Protein backbone atom coordinates (compact mmCIF):
# COMPACT_ATOMS: atom_id res chain seq x y z
CA UNK A 1 0.00 0.00 0.00
CA UNK A 2 1.32 3.47 -0.86
CA UNK A 3 2.21 5.63 2.14
CA UNK A 4 1.90 8.89 0.15
CA UNK A 5 -0.57 11.24 1.84
CA UNK A 6 -4.00 11.39 0.25
CA UNK A 7 -4.42 14.64 -1.67
CA UNK A 8 -6.58 17.33 -0.13
CA UNK A 9 -9.29 19.02 -2.20
CA UNK A 10 -8.64 21.93 -4.54
CA UNK A 11 -10.60 24.13 -2.08
CA UNK A 12 -8.30 23.19 0.78
CA UNK A 13 -5.16 23.55 -1.32
CA UNK A 14 -6.12 26.90 -2.81
CA UNK A 15 -7.32 28.73 0.28
CA UNK A 16 -5.00 31.34 1.81
CA UNK A 17 -5.23 31.45 5.59
CA UNK A 18 -6.23 34.82 7.06
CA UNK A 19 -3.07 36.98 7.23
CA UNK A 20 -4.61 39.30 9.82
CA UNK A 21 -5.32 36.43 12.20
CA UNK A 22 -1.80 35.11 11.52
CA UNK A 23 -0.08 38.40 12.51
CA UNK A 24 -2.32 38.68 15.58
CA UNK A 25 -1.47 35.09 16.57
CA UNK A 26 2.27 35.76 16.10
CA UNK A 27 2.08 38.89 18.29
CA UNK A 28 0.17 36.97 20.97
CA UNK A 29 2.70 34.11 20.88
CA UNK A 30 5.59 36.58 21.38
CA UNK A 31 3.68 38.19 24.27
CA UNK A 32 3.09 34.76 25.81
CA UNK A 33 6.83 34.15 25.56
CA UNK A 34 7.40 37.25 27.68
CA UNK A 35 8.21 39.79 24.93
CA UNK A 36 6.97 43.36 25.35
CA UNK A 37 4.99 43.56 22.09
CA UNK A 38 2.97 46.57 20.92
CA UNK A 39 0.32 45.07 18.69
CA UNK A 40 -1.64 47.06 16.14
CA UNK A 41 -2.95 43.83 14.62
CA UNK A 42 -6.24 43.30 16.43
CA UNK A 43 -9.42 43.32 14.41
CA UNK A 44 -11.64 43.61 17.46
CA UNK A 45 -12.59 46.21 20.06
CA UNK A 46 -10.48 46.07 23.21
CA UNK A 47 -13.69 46.55 25.22
CA UNK A 48 -15.79 43.88 26.89
CA UNK A 49 -19.37 43.12 25.85
CA UNK A 50 -21.73 45.45 27.77
CA UNK A 51 -23.12 43.93 30.96
CA UNK A 52 -26.83 44.06 30.00
CA UNK A 53 -26.12 41.99 26.89
CA UNK A 54 -24.27 39.35 28.89
CA UNK A 55 -27.05 39.29 31.51
CA UNK A 56 -29.72 38.67 28.87
CA UNK A 57 -27.71 35.79 27.45
CA UNK A 58 -27.18 34.25 30.89
CA UNK A 59 -30.88 34.57 31.68
CA UNK A 60 -31.77 32.86 28.39
CA UNK A 61 -29.32 30.06 29.08
CA UNK A 62 -30.70 29.55 32.60
CA UNK A 63 -34.27 29.54 31.35
CA UNK A 64 -33.53 26.67 28.98
CA UNK A 65 -33.00 28.41 25.65
CA UNK A 66 -30.64 25.59 24.81
CA UNK A 67 -32.41 23.87 21.92
CA UNK A 68 -32.25 24.31 18.16
CA UNK A 69 -33.84 27.53 16.99
CA UNK A 70 -35.19 28.39 13.53
CA UNK A 71 -32.32 28.47 11.02
CA UNK A 72 -32.60 32.18 10.10
CA UNK A 73 -32.75 33.27 13.75
CA UNK A 74 -35.17 33.60 16.64
CA UNK A 75 -38.21 35.58 15.54
CA UNK A 76 -37.88 38.48 18.01
CA UNK A 77 -34.28 39.08 16.92
CA UNK A 78 -35.14 39.05 13.22
CA UNK A 79 -37.97 41.45 14.01
CA UNK A 80 -35.68 43.75 16.04
CA UNK A 81 -33.07 43.79 13.26
CA UNK A 82 -35.73 44.70 10.70
CA UNK A 83 -37.05 47.44 13.02
CA UNK A 84 -33.61 48.96 13.41
CA UNK A 85 -33.28 49.30 9.62
CA UNK A 86 -36.65 51.06 9.60
CA UNK A 87 -35.67 53.35 12.49
CA UNK A 88 -32.08 54.11 11.46
CA UNK A 89 -32.42 54.32 7.69
CA UNK A 90 -36.13 54.50 6.87
CA UNK A 91 -35.86 51.24 4.95
CA UNK A 92 -39.08 49.22 4.67
CA UNK A 93 -37.50 46.07 6.08
CA UNK A 94 -39.43 42.99 7.24
CA UNK A 95 -38.30 40.23 9.60
CA UNK A 96 -38.58 37.68 6.78
CA UNK A 97 -35.74 39.47 4.97
CA UNK A 98 -33.35 39.05 7.92
CA UNK A 99 -31.01 36.08 8.37
CA UNK A 100 -28.98 35.78 11.56
CA UNK A 101 -25.76 33.85 10.90
CA UNK A 102 -22.76 32.67 12.91
CA UNK A 103 -20.70 35.84 12.41
CA UNK A 104 -20.71 38.52 9.73
CA UNK A 105 -18.02 36.54 7.95
CA UNK A 106 -20.49 33.73 7.32
CA UNK A 107 -23.16 36.22 6.27
CA UNK A 108 -20.77 37.49 3.58
CA UNK A 109 -19.94 33.99 2.41
CA UNK A 110 -23.59 32.94 2.19
CA UNK A 111 -24.41 36.14 0.28
CA UNK A 112 -21.72 35.25 -2.26
CA UNK A 113 -22.84 31.61 -2.46
CA UNK A 114 -26.44 32.67 -3.03
CA UNK A 115 -25.59 34.90 -5.98
CA UNK A 116 -22.43 33.62 -7.69
CA UNK A 117 -21.81 30.50 -9.75
CA UNK A 118 -18.61 29.03 -11.17
CA UNK A 119 -17.42 31.26 -14.01
CA UNK A 120 -18.91 34.46 -12.57
CA UNK A 121 -16.69 37.42 -11.76
CA UNK A 122 -16.89 39.48 -8.58
CA UNK A 123 -15.45 42.98 -8.42
CA UNK A 124 -13.61 43.67 -5.19
CA UNK A 125 -12.12 47.13 -4.68
CA UNK A 126 -8.64 46.91 -3.12
CA UNK A 127 -7.59 47.44 -0.38
CA UNK A 128 -10.14 44.80 0.64
CA UNK A 129 -11.06 42.82 3.72
CA UNK A 130 -8.96 39.65 3.44
CA UNK A 131 -11.82 37.17 3.36
CA UNK A 132 -13.71 38.39 0.27
CA UNK A 133 -11.37 36.91 -2.38
CA UNK A 134 -11.17 33.56 -0.63
CA UNK A 135 -14.95 33.37 -0.26
CA UNK A 136 -15.41 34.17 -3.94
CA UNK A 137 -12.95 31.43 -4.88
CA UNK A 138 -14.74 28.95 -2.58
CA UNK A 139 -17.92 29.72 -4.52
CA UNK A 140 -16.07 28.77 -7.72
CA UNK A 141 -16.22 32.37 -8.96
CA UNK A 142 -13.32 34.68 -9.83
CA UNK A 143 -12.35 37.78 -7.85
CA UNK A 144 -11.44 40.83 -9.96
CA UNK A 145 -9.55 43.50 -8.06
CA UNK A 146 -9.56 47.22 -8.71
CA UNK A 147 -6.81 49.07 -6.88
CA UNK A 148 -7.99 52.23 -5.15
CA UNK A 149 -4.98 53.88 -3.53
CA UNK A 150 -4.64 56.85 -1.20
CA UNK A 151 -4.91 59.29 -4.11
CA UNK A 152 -8.67 58.61 -4.24
CA UNK A 153 -8.95 58.17 -0.47
CA UNK A 154 -8.96 54.38 -1.07
CA UNK A 155 -12.34 54.70 -2.79
CA UNK A 156 -13.52 53.13 -6.03
CA UNK A 157 -14.62 55.62 -8.67
CA UNK A 158 -17.52 55.03 -11.10
CA UNK A 159 -15.07 55.15 -14.03
CA UNK A 160 -12.87 52.46 -12.45
CA UNK A 161 -15.94 50.33 -11.79
CA UNK A 162 -17.27 50.69 -15.33
CA UNK A 163 -13.87 49.74 -16.75
CA UNK A 164 -13.71 46.57 -14.62
CA UNK A 165 -17.13 45.19 -15.63
CA UNK A 166 -17.24 42.36 -18.17
CA UNK A 167 -20.15 40.21 -19.40
CA UNK A 168 -19.20 37.75 -16.63
CA UNK A 169 -19.44 40.25 -13.77
CA UNK A 170 -22.14 39.22 -11.32
CA UNK A 171 -21.46 41.00 -8.04
CA UNK A 172 -19.81 44.14 -6.67
CA UNK A 173 -18.54 44.13 -3.10
CA UNK A 174 -18.76 47.41 -1.19
CA UNK A 175 -17.47 47.94 2.33
CA UNK A 176 -17.99 51.33 3.95
CA UNK A 177 -16.64 52.07 6.54
CA UNK A 178 -13.78 49.95 5.28
CA UNK A 179 -11.57 47.38 6.83
CA UNK A 180 -8.59 47.92 6.30
CA UNK A 181 -8.54 51.65 5.43
CA UNK A 182 -11.31 53.12 7.58
CA UNK A 183 -12.50 55.01 4.48
CA UNK A 184 -16.15 56.10 4.48
CA UNK A 185 -17.90 56.73 1.18
CA UNK A 186 -20.36 59.60 1.03
CA UNK A 187 -23.95 58.89 0.05
CA UNK A 188 -23.32 60.59 -3.30
CA UNK A 189 -20.23 58.52 -4.00
CA UNK A 190 -22.12 55.30 -3.29
CA UNK A 191 -25.09 56.43 -5.37
CA UNK A 192 -22.80 56.99 -8.36
CA UNK A 193 -21.34 53.47 -7.99
CA UNK A 194 -24.77 51.93 -7.57
CA UNK A 195 -25.91 53.65 -10.79
CA UNK A 196 -23.18 51.84 -12.69
CA UNK A 197 -23.98 48.53 -10.96
CA UNK A 198 -27.69 48.87 -11.77
CA UNK A 199 -26.95 49.73 -15.39
CA UNK A 200 -24.98 46.46 -15.68
CA UNK A 201 -27.47 44.46 -13.65
CA UNK A 202 -25.04 43.44 -10.90
CA UNK A 203 -25.80 42.22 -7.43
CA UNK A 204 -24.33 44.25 -4.58
CA UNK A 205 -22.86 42.88 -1.39
CA UNK A 206 -22.72 45.83 0.98
CA UNK A 207 -20.69 44.94 4.04
CA UNK A 208 -21.76 47.50 6.64
CA UNK A 209 -20.11 45.79 9.59
CA UNK A 210 -18.58 49.07 10.84
CA UNK A 211 -21.62 51.29 10.20
CA UNK A 212 -21.75 52.59 13.79
CA UNK A 213 -18.02 53.17 14.16
CA UNK A 214 -17.89 56.50 12.40
CA UNK A 215 -16.34 59.89 13.30
CA UNK A 216 -16.32 63.60 12.55
CA UNK A 217 -20.11 63.67 12.19
CA UNK A 218 -19.93 61.48 9.07
CA UNK A 219 -23.06 59.46 8.37
CA UNK A 220 -23.12 55.80 7.39
CA UNK A 221 -25.00 55.01 4.20
CA UNK A 222 -27.15 51.93 3.95
CA UNK A 223 -26.65 51.11 0.27
CA UNK A 224 -30.09 49.48 -0.03
CA UNK A 225 -31.69 52.87 0.70
CA UNK A 226 -30.15 54.54 -2.35
CA UNK A 227 -32.97 53.62 -4.75
CA UNK A 228 -35.61 50.93 -5.29
CA UNK A 229 -33.22 49.35 -7.82
CA UNK A 230 -30.48 49.29 -5.20
CA UNK A 231 -32.83 47.75 -2.64
CA UNK A 232 -33.83 45.00 -5.06
CA UNK A 233 -30.24 43.83 -5.62
CA UNK A 234 -28.40 44.56 -2.37
CA UNK A 235 -27.38 42.05 0.25
CA UNK A 236 -26.63 44.07 3.36
CA UNK A 237 -24.33 42.48 5.90
CA UNK A 238 -23.94 43.89 9.40
CA UNK A 239 -23.58 42.45 12.85
CA UNK A 240 -22.88 42.63 16.51
CA UNK A 241 -19.14 41.91 16.60
CA UNK A 242 -17.69 45.40 16.26
CA UNK A 243 -20.45 47.76 17.39
CA UNK A 244 -21.22 45.92 20.62
CA UNK A 245 -17.80 44.36 21.29
CA UNK A 246 -19.23 40.88 20.68
CA UNK A 247 -16.60 39.34 18.38
CA UNK A 248 -16.53 36.03 20.24
CA UNK A 249 -20.29 35.64 20.20
CA UNK A 250 -20.36 34.97 16.44
CA UNK A 251 -23.54 36.75 15.43
CA UNK A 252 -23.99 38.58 12.15
CA UNK A 253 -26.98 39.63 10.10
CA UNK A 254 -28.02 39.76 6.48
CA UNK A 255 -30.83 41.90 5.15
CA UNK A 256 -31.77 40.96 1.60
CA UNK A 257 -34.70 40.93 -0.82
CA UNK A 258 -36.97 37.98 0.00
CA UNK A 259 -35.85 35.49 -2.70
CA UNK A 260 -32.19 36.03 -1.76
CA UNK A 261 -32.95 35.84 1.98
CA UNK A 262 -34.77 32.57 1.39
CA UNK A 263 -31.84 31.14 -0.59
CA UNK A 264 -29.39 32.21 2.12
CA UNK A 265 -31.54 30.61 4.81
CA UNK A 266 -31.64 27.35 2.84
CA UNK A 267 -27.87 27.37 2.39
CA UNK A 268 -27.45 28.04 6.10
CA UNK A 269 -29.85 25.22 6.97
CA UNK A 270 -27.39 22.75 5.44
CA UNK A 271 -24.17 24.42 6.54
CA UNK A 272 -24.53 25.58 10.14
CA UNK A 273 -28.19 25.80 11.22
CA UNK A 274 -29.03 28.50 13.74
CA UNK A 275 -26.65 30.75 15.67
CA UNK A 276 -26.26 29.57 19.30
CA UNK A 277 -29.77 30.00 20.64
CA UNK A 278 -29.08 31.69 23.99
CA UNK A 279 -26.49 34.00 22.39
CA UNK A 280 -29.24 35.40 20.17
CA UNK A 281 -31.05 36.63 23.30
CA UNK A 282 -27.95 38.65 24.20
CA UNK A 283 -28.01 40.20 20.73
CA UNK A 284 -31.70 40.93 21.19
CA UNK A 285 -30.93 42.85 24.39
CA UNK A 286 -28.32 44.90 22.49
CA UNK A 287 -31.08 46.11 20.18
CA UNK A 288 -33.91 46.36 22.72
CA UNK A 289 -32.18 48.01 25.68
CA UNK A 290 -31.31 50.98 23.55
CA UNK A 291 -30.23 53.50 26.18
CA UNK A 292 -27.74 51.15 27.84
CA UNK A 293 -26.36 50.07 24.49
CA UNK A 294 -26.05 53.67 23.33
CA UNK A 295 -24.08 54.58 26.46
CA UNK A 296 -21.64 51.68 26.02
CA UNK A 297 -21.11 52.53 22.37
CA UNK A 298 -20.53 56.21 23.21
CA UNK A 299 -17.83 55.28 25.76
CA UNK A 300 -16.09 53.07 23.21
CA UNK A 301 -16.33 55.68 20.45
CA UNK A 302 -14.86 58.44 22.64
CA UNK A 303 -11.81 56.26 23.21
CA UNK A 304 -11.53 55.22 19.55
CA UNK A 305 -11.81 58.79 18.34
CA UNK A 306 -9.10 60.03 20.70
CA UNK A 307 -6.77 57.20 19.67
CA UNK A 308 -7.52 57.70 15.99
CA UNK A 309 -6.50 61.35 16.15
CA UNK A 310 -3.40 60.68 18.26
CA UNK A 311 -2.20 57.82 16.10
CA UNK A 312 -2.81 59.78 12.92
CA UNK A 313 -0.89 62.82 14.20
CA UNK A 314 2.03 60.73 15.46
CA UNK A 315 2.30 58.70 12.25
CA UNK A 316 2.44 61.81 10.10
CA UNK A 317 5.24 63.15 12.31
CA UNK A 318 7.44 60.24 11.17
CA UNK A 319 9.49 61.34 8.13
CA UNK A 320 8.58 59.12 5.17
CA UNK A 321 5.17 58.03 6.51
CA UNK A 322 2.02 59.42 4.98
CA UNK A 323 -1.34 58.69 6.54
CA UNK A 324 -4.88 59.78 5.69
CA UNK A 325 -7.27 60.48 8.57
CA UNK A 326 -9.89 57.75 8.22
CA UNK A 327 -13.48 58.50 9.21
CA UNK A 328 -14.57 55.03 10.22
CA UNK A 329 -13.84 51.62 11.79
CA UNK A 330 -10.73 51.43 14.00
CA UNK A 331 -7.94 51.27 11.46
CA UNK A 332 -5.46 53.62 9.85
CA UNK A 333 -3.66 52.67 6.65
CA UNK A 334 -0.40 54.65 6.36
CA UNK A 335 1.64 54.68 3.17
CA UNK A 336 5.18 53.45 3.82
CA UNK A 337 6.27 53.05 0.20
CA UNK A 338 8.90 55.82 0.51
CA UNK A 339 11.16 53.44 2.46
CA UNK A 340 11.69 51.26 -0.61
CA UNK A 341 11.02 48.01 1.27
CA UNK A 342 8.28 45.51 0.52
CA UNK A 343 5.57 45.95 3.14
CA UNK A 344 5.89 42.31 4.24
CA UNK A 345 9.62 42.86 4.84
CA UNK A 346 8.86 46.15 6.63
CA UNK A 347 6.40 44.38 8.96
CA UNK A 348 8.56 41.39 9.74
CA UNK A 349 11.58 43.59 10.53
CA UNK A 350 9.43 45.95 12.60
CA UNK A 351 8.21 43.00 14.65
CA UNK A 352 11.67 41.47 14.95
CA UNK A 353 13.61 44.58 15.90
CA UNK A 354 11.06 46.77 17.70
CA UNK A 355 8.39 44.24 18.70
CA UNK A 356 5.66 46.17 16.94
CA UNK A 357 2.99 44.12 15.13
CA UNK A 358 1.28 45.56 12.04
CA UNK A 359 -0.35 43.89 9.05
CA UNK A 360 1.20 44.56 5.61
CA UNK A 361 -1.02 46.30 3.06
CA UNK A 362 -0.33 43.56 0.54
CA UNK A 363 -2.46 41.22 2.67
CA UNK A 364 -5.36 43.51 1.65
CA UNK A 365 -4.31 43.76 -1.99
CA UNK A 366 -2.41 47.06 -1.61
CA UNK A 367 1.39 46.86 -1.46
CA UNK A 368 3.20 49.76 0.23
CA UNK A 369 0.91 50.31 3.22
CA UNK A 370 0.36 49.05 6.76
CA UNK A 371 -2.89 48.39 8.55
CA UNK A 372 -2.75 49.66 12.09
CA UNK A 373 -5.63 48.93 14.43
CA UNK A 374 -6.11 51.45 17.22
CA UNK A 375 -8.43 49.12 19.13
CA UNK A 376 -5.76 49.02 21.79
CA UNK A 377 -4.76 51.17 24.76
CA UNK A 378 -3.46 54.76 24.56
CA UNK A 379 -0.24 53.55 26.22
CA UNK A 380 0.40 50.85 23.61
CA UNK A 381 -0.34 53.30 20.83
CA UNK A 382 2.12 55.87 22.22
CA UNK A 383 4.84 53.30 22.86
CA UNK A 384 4.27 51.46 19.57
CA UNK A 385 4.35 54.56 17.40
CA UNK A 386 7.54 55.84 19.02
CA UNK A 387 9.19 52.45 18.37
CA UNK A 388 7.97 52.69 14.81
CA UNK A 389 9.53 56.15 14.47
CA UNK A 390 12.85 54.71 15.66
CA UNK A 391 12.55 51.85 13.15
CA UNK A 392 11.73 54.21 10.28
CA UNK A 393 14.67 56.45 11.21
CA UNK A 394 16.95 53.41 11.05
CA UNK A 395 15.76 52.68 7.53
CA UNK A 396 16.61 56.19 6.36
CA UNK A 397 20.25 55.98 7.52
C1 LIG B 1 -15.24 44.24 6.87
C2 LIG B 1 -15.60 43.10 7.74
N3 LIG B 1 -16.69 42.38 7.43
C4 LIG B 1 -17.08 41.34 8.15
C5 LIG B 1 -16.37 40.96 9.27
C6 LIG B 1 -16.84 39.73 10.02
O7 LIG B 1 -17.22 39.97 11.29
P8 LIG B 1 -17.58 38.77 12.26
O9 LIG B 1 -16.54 38.79 13.35
O10 LIG B 1 -18.95 39.09 12.78
O11 LIG B 1 -17.55 37.50 11.51
C12 LIG B 1 -15.22 41.65 9.63
C13 LIG B 1 -14.40 41.23 10.78
O14 LIG B 1 -13.24 41.49 10.89
C15 LIG B 1 -14.83 42.77 8.85
O16 LIG B 1 -13.75 43.49 9.16
Per-residue pLDDT tens for 162-172? Answer: 999 999 999 99
The residue whose C-alpha atom lies closest to atom 14 belonging to ligand 1 is 43
56 pLDDT higher than 70: yes
**Rounded to whole angstroms, how far apart are CA atoms 375 and 42?**
7
2 pLDDT higher than 70: no
Q: Which ligand 1 atom sits nearest the alpha carbon of residue 251?
A: 10
Reference 256, options 116, 142, 71, 108; nearest CA is 108
For residue 105, the model assigns a pLDDT of 98
Q: Residue 4 — very low, low, confident or very high, per pLDDT cuts 50/70/90? A: confident
The maximal CA–CA distance of the chain, rounded, in angstroms, is 68
Q: What is the mean pLDDT of residues 243-266?
A: 98
**Rounded to whole angstroms, how far apart are CA atoms 117 and 167?**
14
181 pLDDT higher than 90: yes
**Rounded to whole angstroms, how far apart are CA atoms 363 and 257?**
32
- CB contact set of 201 (below 8 Å; sequence gap of 6+): 233
Phi then psi for residue 224, to 5 deg, are -65, -15
99 pLDDT higher than 70: yes
261 pLDDT higher than 70: yes
SS3 category, 133: helix
Q: What is the mean pLDDT of residues 351-358?
A: 95
For residue 101, the model assigns a pLDDT of 98
Average pLDDT of the chain, as a whole number: 96
Q: What is the mean pLDDT of residues 45-67?
A: 97
Q: Which of 22, 183, 184, 209 should be mutated for ligand 1, with most atoms under 8 A from CB?
A: 209
Q: Looking at per-residue confidence, does 106 or 4 come out higher?
A: 106
The CA–CA distances, whole Å, from 191 to 122, 163, 226, 260 equal 19, 17, 6, 22
86 pLDDT higher than 70: yes
For residue 58, the model assigns a pLDDT of 98
Q: How far is the CA of 63 from the centre of ligand 1 (A)?
A: 30
- CB contact set of 144 (below 8 Å; sequence gap of 6+): 121, 122, 123, 124, 164, 166, 169
Q: How far is the CA of 241 from the centre of ligand 1 (A)?
A: 7
Q: How far is the CA of 4 from the centre of ligand 1 (A)?
A: 38
**Rounded to whole angstroms, how far apart are CA atoms 42 and 301?**
16
Tens-place pLDDT, residues 11-22 = 999 888 777 777
CATH number for the segment(s) 51-289: 3.40.640.10
Reference 267, options 386, 108, 126; nearest CA is 108
For residue 302, the model assigns a pLDDT of 98
The residues lining ligand 1, judged by C-beta closer than 6 Å to any ligand atom, are: 43, 103-105, 108, 129, 175, 179, 207, 209, 239, 241, 247, 252
Domain ranges of the chain: 10-48+293-392, 51-289
The residue whose C-alpha atom lies closest to atom 1 belonging to ligand 1 is 179
Q: How far is the CA of 208 from the centre of ligand 1 (A)?
A: 9
- DSSP sequence for 238-250: EESTTTTT-GGG-
Edge to edge, the sheet with strand 169-174 lists 98-101, 252-255, 234-239, 203-207, 169-174, 121-126, 142-147
Tens-place pLDDT, residues 100-141 = 999 999 999 999 999 999 999 999 999 999 999 999 999 999
Q: Residue 1 — very low, low, confident or very high, per pLDDT cuts 50/70/90? A: low
For residue 28, the model assigns a pLDDT of 87
Q: How far is the CA of 371 from the centre of ligand 1 (A)?
A: 15
Q: Which of 100, 111, 129 should be mutated for ligand 1, with most atoms under 8 A from CB?
A: 129
The residue whose C-alpha atom lies closest to atom 7 belonging to ligand 1 is 104
* CATH architecture, domain defined by 10-48+293-392: Alpha-Beta Complex (3.90)
Tell me what percent of the residues of the chain surpass a pLDDT of 70.
99
Q: How far is the CA of 104 from the centre of ligand 1 (A)?
A: 5
Q: How far is the CA of 257 from the centre of ligand 1 (A)?
A: 22
Amino acid sequence: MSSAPLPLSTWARNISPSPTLAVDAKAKALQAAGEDVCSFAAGEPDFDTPEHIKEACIAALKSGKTKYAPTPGIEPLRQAVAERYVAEYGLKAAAAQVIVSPGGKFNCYLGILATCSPGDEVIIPAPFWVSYPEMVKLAGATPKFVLCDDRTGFKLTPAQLAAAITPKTKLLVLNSPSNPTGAVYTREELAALVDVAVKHNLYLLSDEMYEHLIYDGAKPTCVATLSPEAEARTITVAGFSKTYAMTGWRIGTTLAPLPIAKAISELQSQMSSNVTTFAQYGALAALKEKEKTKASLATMMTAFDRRRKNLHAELNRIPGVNCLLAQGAFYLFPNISSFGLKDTEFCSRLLETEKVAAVPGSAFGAEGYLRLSYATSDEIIAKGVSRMAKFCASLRK
